[in-house]
Each structure stands twice: as C-alpha cells, then as structure tokens.
Amino acid sequence: MTCIQCGGDVAPALYACPACHALVHAGRLRELAGLADAAVGRGETPLAVDYWNQALALLPPDSRQHEVVARRIQDLSRQQEAHRPNWRRLGTGGGAIGGAALLLWKLKAVVLFALTKGKLLLLGVTNATTLFSMLASFGVYWAAFGWTFAAGLVASIYVHEMGHVAALRRLGIAATAPMFIPGVGAFVRLRGRVFSPIDDARIGLAGPIWGTAAAVASWLVAVAGGGAFWLATAHVSAWLNLFNLLPIWQLDGSRAFHPMTRAERLLVALLFTGAFFLTREGLFVLLAIVSAVRAFESNRGVEGDWNGTARLAAVVVILAALCTVKAAVRSSAP
C-alpha cells in the first residue's frame, strides 16, 4: 500500500506508517465511521456496533483513537441492552422465572447470532493456530473416547469460548480466536482493557451461557436418536461449564463474582448447595464452599449485580439438570 500522507510504501498489516505515523487504513476508517453513523440514524444499533468493531481492528491497540472507538461501542451496547426486557421486574417473588426467561432470551440470541453473524462463528476455523490446536484436541479426545464424542466435546468448548469473543466484541475489546490446549480446554487472549466489574462479569458469564446452549443442543441430538455418546457429551459439557463457574483465579465464575455483594454471593452458594442435594454431583460441593468463602472477602461489590446473579442462577439450574443425564448414559450403555 501507499501512504496517503507521505507517499511511502507500507505493509497492509501495519496500523500506522513507519515514516509519518499516519493511519494506514484512514480511508476505510472514515468509510466505516460514516456507515456506523448512518446505521445509528436508522436505529440499527447492532449494525453500527459491527461497523465500529471492524474499525477497531484497523486501529493501533494502544492509541487514543482505539480507546475512543472502544468506548463508543460500549455506549451503543449499553443503549441496546437498555431496550431489552427488564428482567429485574421479575425479581420480587419471581427470581427463578426471571432467570429462566433471561436464559431463554440469551439462547434465542445465540440462534439469531448464528444466522446473522456466521463470520464470527467461523473465526476459529479460518485461524491456522486455532484450527491446528482444535484438531490436536480432537485427536486426543478421539483416541480416548471415539470420534463422535470428541467432535461434540470440541464443538462445545469452541462455542463456550466464542461466547467470550462475542461479549468482548460487543464491548469493543479486541481478542484472539480461541486457542485449544489438548486434554485441558481452551482460552481467549484479550487485546484490550475491561473498564468495569459489570462488563467483566458479562464477559465471564457469556462463555457458560453459550456453553450451556451447546450442552442443551447435544442433549437434543441424543433425544432425537443420537445415542449415548451425545448424552455423554451433554453431561461432560455441562460439567466443564460448571467447573468454569468456580469463583477463583481467572475462571469465569471469578469474573461473575467481581460486582456481587455478600448477599448475592451467599445466594449463589446456597444455590450450589441445593443443586448438590438434587443431583449428588460432587463438583457442587466445591462450588458452594468457594462461593461461601468469597462472600466474606473485603473486595466485594458495593452496588451489586442482580442481573448477573440471575443469569448465573439460570445457567446453574440448567447445567444441574444436564448433569443428571449421566444416569441415562449408564442405563443405555451396552
């Protein structure tokens, strides 16, 4: 490419000209800004966010322009969130109903996203490093459990990680495609900053929400005649997503706990305790203990996050139900 300011040759992969520091993709950035503003004028906020996300990928991550565009995406995302159903109205005497309705709304959003944003779902398979690491994991699981279970498990992990990517893009935070670690799982690396505990919680919970959708899909395949392997996939996927809800280290549960008050954290601990008595899944004991301990930390949230607590509760209820399919797996085994 030729720099429009100094006329020097620049590589398209660069953000700025090495000679004069002008933005390499200035023309495309102006075009995307115009398209985004026009979309806002028409009331098409999701389309505007998509245009700004494309612009964000063309800006230096440590630049002032990158921060301005990221904040604009955040503002538009919050406006979009404000026009969605207010599940807090169901909080008094209807927390479970509100949480379940919220999760159904999210699962609906996943389906719509798959239909309208297929390019994002294909992000991993078009990235060589992600594809090779995914195939390596598939080979490990295939050798241990067979190709059907391996395919379902890898797909479940991929969908979980893409939930994080989708949440990050919605907030204007750049991130890598998922990277698989054979026999362990996968992760997404951030290329930006998270500005608030609420945003951090939404990013953390997006993975288990999408992962829950994948586990439910595996269960539906099993019900439709897919057999015990798909039931096993649903159970293991549910277990892995539950493990990620542990509120420790960099796991998703820790991010979800950031803005929660002591009462909200204790409520989650009680939910995990109840889930154990209903399912006898030992992981719930660990989840309950760690959640109770974190309820008495000094760095708790002040304002709280009822919305996030309801989302987490709805996910736990569905994952707990899916954990019970192991009985069906055993009864159907030869």
Q: Please check whether residue 215 is in contact with residue 237, taking contact to mean a CB–CB distance below 8 angstroms.
A: yes
Type of residue at 247 = P
**Helix runs in 124-196, H state only:** 128-145, 147-170
Reduce the DSSP state of residue 290 to 3 states and report it: helix
For 200, other C-beta atoms within 10 Å of its C-beta total: 19
pLDDT digits (tens, 9 = 90+) for 139-174: 988 888 788 778 888 888 998 998 898 888 888 887
pLDDT digits (tens, 9 = 90+) for 13-62: 677 777 777 787 788 888 888 888 888 888 888 788 888 888 887 888 77
Least confident piece of the model among 52-56, 85-89, 299-303: 85-89
Residue 98, pLDDT score? 53
Write down all domains in the chain, each with its CATH number in brackets.
1-83 (1.20.58), 92-332 (no CATH)
Residue 332, pLDDT score? 44
pLDDT digits (tens, 9 = 90+) for 241-268: 999 999 998 899 999 998 999 999 999 9
Q: Is the pLDDT of residue 130 over 70?
A: yes
Mean pLDDT of the chain: 79
